[in-house]
Structure formats: structure tokens, C-alpha cells
A and B are shown apart, each in its own frame.
Chain A
């Protein structure tokens, strides 16, 4: 079991927003939260190209029924692997813009999401988009399973940017918990 609760310092150190800072959680807790969600959305970005094995892990989650918003040009990674079943091509910015409105019907037209799970996104940008939701739509739970401590999320891992093996193991544990 990987301890993902350590190193709770913002990956960009000066990102200290205020009194409300994210808590770190173990993978199995995060996995259980995603599993319990009624309308979860996995949001992935272009940093997956730096660690391509992550695409396979995301596809594994996609196959479990979690829709994937492929931001930036990350959809290319899914195209190359021949998996597009529930993958939507959309920028993180327009996606977050939509997420802030309670009446948005989602990428599939079936309703707003209740949990968003971010990973593989340029830190500062993901942090800013979490911040939008933190102040302007608190009905959506903000979860990060990225390799960074995400200060504006509700639930996050601690920093694991320099321990890729642990990070991969942690994501595998999230997936395992979702399968339980």
C-alpha cells in the first residue's frame, strides 16, 4: 500500500490560497468515492504524453464506465490506442466553464456531474480551474489523482512527482478500489 497522504505541500510552493486547503487521502478512499459517485467525470490532460502508461490506466477506468474528458490534445493518446468509446475531446477551460453552471447537461446531455477527477494537467492550470469550482460551484466534488498535491481540490494525493513507481501503484490502487 502506498501512503499518498505524505508531502501535502502545493507542488508550486507559493500556491497557498487561503484557509481552505485540500486534504490528502489514501487511494482506496478516493477509489471508493469515485465508485459511489452518480455522475463522475475523469478529466485528463496532455501531461499523460510524458508518462504514456497512464493512458492505459485511464482506458481501464473508462472501460469501467467512467466517461473521460480528454483535454488539450490528449485525445490523440486515446485515438492511438483505439479507445474512444466514452472519450470526449474538450479543452479544460470550456469544460470548467460549463461545470460551474448547475444547469449544464454534461458531455453526454444527461446532466451535470457530481465528482470530477483531474490528472495529467499542467499544475497551475488545473489549480486555477479547481479554484473556479471551489468558489463558484461547490456542488461538484473536486478530486485529484495527479502526482501533485492539489491545494484547491477537496481530495488529493500528496506530492509524488519524483516517485513515479509509487504514483503508478497509487493509481492502480484507486482502480482496484473502484472494482471492489
Chain B
């Protein structure tokens, strides 16, 4: 079908082998006409949102029965009652959800705004060039705004758009504005989309300005772990998400030839982004190949453990996900703190305009515990100089920072087994039992729960005996900490067009069973290891597994029998049986981008200002599922909501119930699963695929089973559905000991049945579900919801019905 001059759709050309050789450079001018929705405002995509919400029923789990937002309150909303302003519980939950999603969206967008000014000031405008392998280069910007940025400066228009939408959305949260829950969720979905755009802007800016990998499957392996920081050198920790000041610390170290004197370790996403700097060797104002010279100290969840392990001499914080007591923790241990971004100033004096020498002198002599320095160049220089100069002076305090055996024992003895700590510990660690065992000389519980502990410090806050539980952990695990040395593949950035050409067809037809995206933070229900286990399960099964942020870091901390980390076990291409580190949180935008590119590059849909069409394609045809197994932040809320608006479902861990809102389909309502067949406009019932948009799993086993199920799509061909069903059933057999109760609703044809279970399943279909089977011909006479139809072109949007021309 011709769609526009020079392009055609392959949707109805099933079983056609298409070989596309070298990527042809597109003409400069965009051949796509402007789509229907350039720069959508708050209400523009409401129809699409309502379609999603009608199928995926908004479900609230109030974390609070009252509202105190205005002075009429507190209002008791229990039982969906109304408050004085007339709002009910559902809408109040919707309002809180929107606020959380907006906070996340603002964090990413403001990060982008900071980088925009910083990159242009420091390095000047640069052409926006993602290299020959990536011609669909800013998929979200194109899809949402309908523009193609040509230089970094052009992202200013996209930022201004985000900022206007955020202001409009936040205004709707005022008392006496929006009052209907479904509209709050439409607004939250809008914010989620803006969040995805804000992230794309951030990562595109830094990728070009700092010459980061542009889709490099072979991005270098970098060192990760607390034990990688060389204690013979001074150690500077750069903690947060915005690389500006950390990058300057690296440049200062390079230019002054100081790598023998100092190690720089990153914490949280700053770590990932620092390891990506100038890796491609293009001409740059920044020294080449800097990234692999820094180390990844660890994910955010390790912060309190690492400060107690005394492995750092100075800390520089930038923005997002920084523990608010970072200064207190550092001051106690004589670790000077530099705050480099105005979003987090920690009460420190603003010394941006003071001479570097004076600031260094004050910090090294401990006259001041820290300083705010909002010029990244000066902050970077001061941080390195302070780390090097303070290291010898800190030696005198070492003995107070960590326990010796005597102190460890004396502290254990103070425990009265009152269990107050157990009442507040998120993963329910039985701390008093652990202490009792340690008193008997058994440190095993302390080591086996070290990664289960999320480092929240609540136990220490409530303990009447003032027992520093995390310090006990540090002593019991000191050998592990010294030996925590692993590798992580540096974030590779976007998925290339060539990779999409290769995987587009198998992904849409189901032969590659899905894309599994492990994203988000470190608040794991049962320890770091679970994110490794989940990744390993799916990559071994042939899924495309991508990771970002803290999940990518934490899954690096394990080795297989051959001593290889997960990044050493698998290639880094966007392909089945590959393990892809996309990058930091903001690089999540490339996961959206990859899904969009399947629609544009493989299926030749126009992405330009055409968001709902692309989202509809992804929901119906791209088997992808996100998992945020440690999600804690508002950014995680906005990330998930952004995935959801684009038609990508996500599974979250049980603590995520505090986010209050999920999207769950009703599999018992056939009328909810009607879609249009775009080839003839007829309505067709489909199996509930995907059955939910935001699903809370109680355990990793449940998460994995659900993720396999959420990769089903109506477009699967029989081979693809067979493969997906095989994994779904296999995972169930492996962890649940039986087949899932609902496997049969995904069967359309005998050819859909997994070979391994075929005979057993056919018998069960007949006996238990009453299907009529022609045993001779091995065919179903009746039973399935619909036949498998290779020409079926599911859509939820009436304008996609193909009209004969």
C-alpha cells in the first residue's frame, strides 16, 4: 500500500522476505507530511488515553484515606467519599498520581534544560548527528513535535514545549480544577509522554556534546563495584544524574595528568553517563576516550553502604535521587561534599564566585563540611584537588569510621531483641535474629541479607539502643566489599536503524518472543540478585533484553560458573539473546525510540506528529514489556506512565503499590477486547493481549511469568505465538510446578501450541474447555476465540482503516 511518495507499507505483505542492504542516507528534506497532532496539548490525545483506560481499567490503591491539600481538610475520603471541594477518593488518587508523574517529568525536563544551557555555553552549538547507522535520530521529538532537530540548539523548541505542557498540567492539580479521575489519568499519561521527550532531549544533548556511543553494540566494558576504587589513590565519588560537573572533574584529571593520584567513581546514573564520555573518537573539545577511566562505584541503593565502608575521600553531588542526609553522613566521616547543581544545595554556602584555592583550603582543613559550587568547571577542579589533598588528613579518622572486632561485638550485645527495627524494615529482615546469630559467631545471615537490605536506614532511626545496623553490615561484609569487582558494558545509547531492520519482522510476528526492558531503581523486594535472575532468564530464552540505570548496574554484580558477568556472557546488540545496556535513566527514551522505529522503519508508518498511530501500532504489534523491579522514585512513575501511553506494558515490584495507580484489563469481558481490522474495517475480538498496562507482581517468579504473558500481541503469527506460549508455559512449569490456568485463551490454531505440550494441551482443550477437535486432521472444529489470520491488521484507531483508492 502506498502511504506517501517514496514509501510503502509492508503490513499486508506477509511471508515476503525483504533484504535491505546498506542504509541509504535520506534526503535532507523530510519526505513525511506533517501528521495530525504536532505538539499535542493537554487534551489533544485524550481520545487515545480514554481508549487505553477503557480497556485497562484504572485501579487505585489509596495510600492514605484522607486529603489535606487545602484548608478545608483534612477530609475523610474512605469508601470513595467526597471531600469538601467535591472531589472523591478516585480523583484524589488521580491527582496525587499526576503530581508524582509531574515531579518525575520535571526532574528529567529540568535536567535537559540544565544540560541545554551548559552544553551550548561550554562547547557551543553542534550539528545533531547520530551517525550513519541512525537516521531516524530523535524518534520521540519527531513523533511528538513533528520536527527534526538539526543542531543542539533546535532542542530548545522541544524543551519550551515540555515546559509549557508541564505548567498546564500542574495548574490542573489546583483545588477546584480537574475533578474526574479518568481525566487526571489522561493528564498523567500526557505528562508521561512529556517525560519521555524530556529524557530524549537530555540524552541526545549529552550524546552529541560529550561524544558518547551512538548505538555501539561493542561499547567498552567498564569496571564496577566498591572494590574497584583504588584505596592507594584518593577517591572522588560523583553522585547523581547530571554529568556536567563529574565530566569536568575527569577533564581536569586528564589535563593535569592526575589519574595516578585519583580514582573517580560514579554513583547512580552519573556513573553510567561518565563512563560513556568521548568513546567514539570523533573530533571533540573534550579529551578522547575518557569514559573507561572512571569506575562505577554502584547504584543508588549502595550509597549508604559505601559511605560506611570508608572508600571515598570527597563527594560531589549533582541532581536527583541523592539521599537528603548525604551531608550529615559525609561530615561525620570527614568526607568533604561539593554540591554542583542548584537543585540540591544542602544548606551549604554558595561559593561559586570564590577562588578555587580558598574553597580547597577550607574543605581540606575541615573548616567547612562542604561547599556549593554551581560552575561545573570550578566544581570539578575543586573536587579533584580536595580529594587528593584531604586523603592524608583523613587517615587519622579511619579508626572511628569502621568497627574493629571488639567494637562489633560490643555493639551486638546492646541489642535487646525488641524488634522495633523489624517493624520498619522494608524487606522485613529479621535483624534481631541476625544479631543473635552473629553473637554466636555466625555471620552468614549478615552476609546473605547484605544485598537484600536496601540501605534505607530506618532500622537505625528507630532502634532504642541506637545500634548502627548498617555499620554492623559493613564489618560483617568487609571482605566482600574489598572484592566487589565486576564489569559493566558502558551505555551504548540508541538502537540503530540497521538493528531495527533486522529484528522488525521477527519481533512483530513473534519469532523473537519480545523485548524485555529492565529499568529503574534499587528498591528491590528481595535483593539485587533478582534483577540479574530476571535478565538471565529472558536473555537465555532468546528475548532482546535491554537495561538502564540502577538495574543495569546491579545486574553486573554476579558471575556465571565461568566467572563472567552478564555483559561478558552475551553480546550487546539489539537482538535476541543479547544483553543491551542502553544507558542511564534518561537513555530510557531510546527504548521508546526503538519501539517507534519498529513502526517507522519496519512498517513504514509515518511518525511525524503522529503519536497515537504509533502507540496503537506498538500496543497491537510490538511484543515488549518493561519491568521496574526496584522502582521507588517519582521519575520511575513518569517513566512507566510514558511507556504506558506508548502502548508498552510494565511490571513493577510490590512496594510500587504506594504509587497508588495501576492499569488492569478485565479478561472476563469480551467486549473490552474488540479491535478494528484495518484491512476491512470489521470489528474483531482478540485475546487479552497484552492483558494489563501496569501490573504489580509479588515475587520475581510471578513477575517473570507475567512478563512472558505481556509480550503476547494480536499480530503474532502461529510460529511466533507458539514460541511465546512455550516460554509462558515453561516459566510456569519451572517456578509454579504447573501450566498456567489461562494458556488456552491464547490458542487460535493447533499450530499455536507449543510442541512440547501439544498432545497434553489438545486433550485438555477437549476435556476441560469443551473444544471440538478433528483428531485425524489435527484441527480445531470449534473453541478458539478467533482463527489465526496472517492478514489480520489490528488497530484501535478508526482512521487507520484502509480505504480503497
Contact = CB atoms under 8 A, between A and B. Distances in A.
Nearest to A50: B428
Contacts of B422: 161-162
Nearest to B430: A162
Nearest to A9: B423
Contacts of A76: 735-737
Contacts of B59: 96-97, 100, 132
B62 A75 contact: no
Interface of A: 9, 11-14, 17-20, 45-46, 71-73, 75-76, 79-80, 84, 88-94, 96-98, 100-101, 104-105, 121-125, 127-129, 131-132, 134-136, 138, 159, 161-162
B449 interface: no
Contacts of B691: 94
A134 B79 CA distance: 6
Interface stretch (B434-442, B698-706, B786-794): B698-706
Contacts of B654: 122, 124-125
B686 interface: no
B664 interface: yes
Nearest to A105: B668
Interface stretch (B63-71, B184-192, B224-232, B564-572): B63-71
A180 B482 CA distance: 61
A105 B668 CA distance: 9
B58 to A, nearest CB: 10
A92 B737 contact: no
Contact of A135 (B65, B657, B666, B735): B65
B696 interface: yes
A135 B59 CA distance: 11
A20 B66 CA distance: 10
A124 B426 CA distance: 9
Q: Which of A71, A97, A124 has the most CB of B within 10 A?
A: A97
A92 B697 CA distance: 8
Nearest to A78: B737
A104 B668 contact: yes
Nearest to A79: B737
Given A11-B423, A17-B65, A124-B657, A93 B76 contact: no
A134 to B, nearest CB: 7
Contact of B78 (A20, A80, A90, A94): A20
B76 A19 contact: yes
Contacts of A11: 423
Interface in B51-108: 57, 59-66, 76-80, 89-90
B664 A93 contact: yes
Contacts of A123: 428
Contacts, number: 149
B695 interface: yes
A89 B76 CA distance: 36
B634 interface: no
Nearest to A106: B668
A97 B57 contact: yes
A13 to B, nearest CB: 5
A27 to B, nearest CB: 23
Residue in A71, A131, A159 whose Cβ sees the most chain B Cβ within 10 Å: A131
B291 interface: no
B712 to A, nearest CB: 15
A94 B664 contact: yes
B684 interface: no
Contacts of B428: 123
B741 interface: yes
Contacts of B685: none
A163 B542 CA distance: 46
Given A20-B78, A136-B60, A128 B658 contact: yes
B457 interface: no
Contact of A89 (B63, B655, B736): B736
B736 A79 contact: yes
Contacts of A104: 666, 668
Nearest to B423: A13
A122 B656 CA distance: 12
A138 B699 contact: no
23 contacts: A9-B423, A11-B423, A17-B65, A18-B77, A19-B76, A19-B78, A46-B702, A72-B701, A75-B738, A76-B736, A89-B741, A91-B698, A92-B696, A100-B59, A101-B666, A124-B426, A131-B62, A131-B65, A135-B65, A135-B77, A135-B90, A161-B422, A162-B419
B475 to A, nearest CB: 25
Contact of A72 (B419, B692, B702): B702
Contact of B668 (A12, A79, A96, A98): A98
Contacts of A45: 698
Contacts of A97: 57, 59, 662, 664, 666
Contact of A125 (B63, B667, B696, B741): B696
A161 to B, nearest CB: 7
Nearest to B420: A13
Contacts of A18: 64-66, 76-78
Given A12-B424, A19-B78, A73 B64 contact: no
B740 A89 contact: yes
Q: Which of A14, A46, A101 has the most CB of B within 10 A?
A: A46
Contacts of B64: 17-18
List 10 A-B pairs, minimum CB-CB distance, nearest first. A18-B65, A128-B657, A79-B737, A125-B654, A72-B698, A73-B701, A128-B61, A97-B664, A72-B699, A93-B696
Contacts of A101: 666
A80 B59 CA distance: 34
A123 to B, nearest CB: 7
B697 A135 contact: no
B702 A73 contact: yes
Given A46-B698, A88-B741, A122 B525 contact: yes
B387 to A, nearest CB: 38
A129 B79 CA distance: 14
Contacts of A125: 654-655, 657, 696, 698
B79 A135 contact: yes
B655 A124 contact: yes
A101 to B, nearest CB: 7
A80 B695 CA distance: 27
Contacts of A134: 62, 65, 78-79
